[in-house]
């Protein structure tokens, strides 16, 4: 397979000003990766990603935004180069089908939307890892990519660090608590409730509340049918689950999927949640 330079393929996209704009706005990236050679299919994808950023560069002249963008593009290209062998064969497979080309194109656009103006460098790494892992996941599709990038966009680094507290597959050595971080119980609870809303965690109290609500609905339906019968027998009032003042949380399959996709060692084949999974009490 032929090798190519990434920036040669950026320049081949038809914009005469691309070379100048890149040199002015992303000088360190051009200097670092200008002569880097990778397999042609990877160089093509990387070149298209950088080329897609070019129209946005003319509007970025504030130094702090320029520095941020250059840092983010540097992270993106570095990760693509480091994974070039892993990506090369997979990209060739994706380009051979309509659905594969759709995933390749759309996932790249979604990643760029997430990283171009991202403040936290860790989030950029997560987005690029997600892009690489999505391309390498069998049966990945547009909806899966959209769900991943939209969910990731709503999280910040502390959200993800707290979510990792519940990862039974890769337990953290020191879970984040009020005693080892600048976050108190109320702030950490807010983060967990946010992740419950996003479907990444599930709340034990919410599960009990939902079961109680189902019992009420079931009781009312049976009572209505009973009262409408010729010989009402009465309906026994259900026993309700007691909801504790404290709460506990478990990670959902969606939560595991997200953590796998942002990791460097992704395994999407085993996302089952064991019954003995650890639960962290509030």
Are both 71 and 175 inside the same structural domain?
no
Last residue of a domain, one of 153, 172, 191: 153
**57: containing domain:** 3-153
- In 3D space, the residue among 250, 233, 261 whose CA is nearest the CA of residue 111 turns out to be 261
Are both 149 and 167 inside the same structural domain?
no
Task: Please give the DSSP secondary-structure letter assigned to residue 275.
Answer: T
Are both 213 and 83 inside the same structural domain?
no
Contact 129, 148 (CB under 8 A): no
Average pLDDT of the chain to the nearest whole number: 79
pLDDT given for residue 118 in this prediction: 93
Are both 184 and 80 inside the same structural domain?
no
pLDDT given for residue 121 in this prediction: 95
* Cα→Cα distances 226→121, 215, 219, 236, 239, Å: 62, 16, 10, 11, 19
Last residue of a domain, one of 104, 134, 153: 153
118 burial (CB, 10 Å; 0-12 / 13-18 / 19+) is buried
Q: Report how many domains make up the chain.
A: 2
- In 3D space, the residue among 125, 110, 17, 136 whose CA is nearest the CA of residue 74 turns out to be 125
Ranges of residues in the chain with a pLDDT under 70 are 1-2, 4-25, 34, 55-64, 205-212, 215-216, 218-219, 224, 226, 240-247, 268-282
Are both 186 and 245 inside the same structural domain?
yes
Are both 180 and 40 inside the same structural domain?
no
Are both 49 and 165 inside the same structural domain?
no
Are both 266 and 251 inside the same structural domain?
yes
Are both 162 and 72 inside the same structural domain?
no
Are both 259 and 121 inside the same structural domain?
no
Last residue of a domain, one of 119, 153, 187: 153
The token duo for 236 is 């026994």
- In 3D space, the residue among 160, 136, 145 whose CA is nearest the CA of residue 259 turns out to be 160
Are both 119 and 198 inside the same structural domain?
no
pLDDT given for residue 75 in this prediction: 92
Are both 119 and 163 inside the same structural domain?
no
Whole-model pTM: value is 0.77
Contact 269, 136 (CB under 8 A): no
What whole-number distance in Å separates Cα of residue 162 and Cα of residue 176? 6
């Amino acid at each position: 397979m032929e090798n190519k330079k990434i920036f040669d393929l950026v320049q081949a996209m038809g914009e005469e000003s691309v070379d100048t704009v890149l040199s002015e706005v992303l000088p360190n990236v051009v200097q670092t990766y200008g002569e880097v050679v990778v397999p042609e299919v990877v160089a093509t994808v990387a070149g298209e990603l950088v080329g897609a950023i070019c129209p946005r560069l003319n509007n970025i002249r504030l130094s702090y935004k320029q520095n941020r963008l250059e840092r983010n593009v540097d992270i993106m290209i570095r990760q693509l180069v480091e994974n070039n062998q892993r990506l090369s064969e997979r990209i060739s497979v994706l380009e051979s089908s309509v659905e594969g080309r759709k995933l390749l194109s759309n996932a790249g656009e979604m990643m760029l939307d997430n990283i171009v103006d991202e403040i936290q460098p860790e989030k950029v790494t997560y987005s690029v890892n997600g892009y690489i892992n999505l391309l390498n996941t069998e049966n990945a599709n547009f909806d899966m990519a959209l769900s991943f990038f939209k969910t990731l966009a709503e999280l910040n680094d502390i959200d993800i660090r707290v979510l990792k507290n519940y990862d039974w597959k890769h337990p953290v050595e020191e879970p984040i608590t009020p005693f080892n971080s600048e976050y108190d119980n109320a702030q950490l609870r807010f983060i967990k409730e946010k992740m419950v809303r996003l479907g990444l965690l599930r709340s034990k109290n919410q599960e009990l509340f939902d079961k109680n609500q189902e019992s009420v609905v079931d009781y009312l339906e049976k009572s209505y049918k009973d009262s409408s019968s010729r010989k009402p027998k009465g309906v026994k009032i259900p026993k309700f689950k007691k909801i504790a003042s404290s709460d506990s949380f478990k990670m959902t399959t969606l939560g595991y999927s997200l953590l796998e996709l942002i990791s460097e060692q992704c395994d999407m084949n085993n996302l089952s949640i064991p019954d003995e999974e650890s639960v962290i009490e509030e």
